[in-house]
A and B are shown apart, each in its own frame.
Chain A
Amino acid sequence: MVRVDVTLLLLALFSTVGLVFTYLAVSERDLVRAVIYSAVQSSAYAVMLYLLRAPDIVLVYLPVAVGLYPAALLFLIGKTEKVDGE
């Protein structure tokens, strides 16, 4: 039986989740959905930062990237266009 640390398995899993949702966010035409995909990617990165033993950074990253960026971007989308491209 091969020994492996749980930390490494979870790190690889959540970084793959981040990659998948980044691709979805960049290639999506509807801008509100793109913001939601990027918020999910930020949550996956917040879990990764906790696994990398950095609790100070998690306390900064969680309100900023999951709360403040999507809020400001949704204000911007509400006042301007809602679709990317033609």
Chain B
Amino acid sequence: MNRPPTAALKWPLAMVAAAALLAVLGISWSWDATRSAAALHAQAVQARTAAETRLSHSRAQQDLIAAHLADYEALAARGFVGAENRLAWIEAAQVAARASGVPALEYRLDPRADAPSALARGLPLKETRMTLVLPLLVETDLARFLAALEQRAPGIQRVRGCTITRGDDAPFEAVDRPRLRAECEILWFTVSTQRESAP
């Protein structure tokens, strides 16, 4: 084909340009429509998958609730779930001391702190350290006191450790005077709830 006679081809060239323009416009419009539809489609797929997962989990959740609700409510009633009940803990210690024949009791409660993650396992588990100082007549008083405390504890507590110290080197006398001093660390555990943390 020879050199193109440009002047005679104005209209055909315009047709080519118009066709190209229309093609570009059409493709652009439909591309945008497809892209936005694809985005909506992805969202819809995600929503359906989430709904399917929710529904499939609901049966397992029903089983979980059936298995653990009573225990959970019991724990909540005991004070394990929710805010601290320090007065109840102190009263429990006092009652345990009286029940085990410990004449006096000193106590100290530290601020509430997060429990170690190995214990918490993702729960908002808190621990409150209670330090008890007890005068003892004999070493077995401590065991009796701790057993009494565990029996009366309004919540969940664990004895962290104890130190028993002899008061003086005086020879043994058969008098009702404590010559041993015990200092124990007890951890009270509670689970913080949303309702509790809400202002």
Do A and B pair up? The answer is no
Interface positions of B (Cβ within 8 A of A): none
Interface positions of A (Cβ within 8 A of B): none
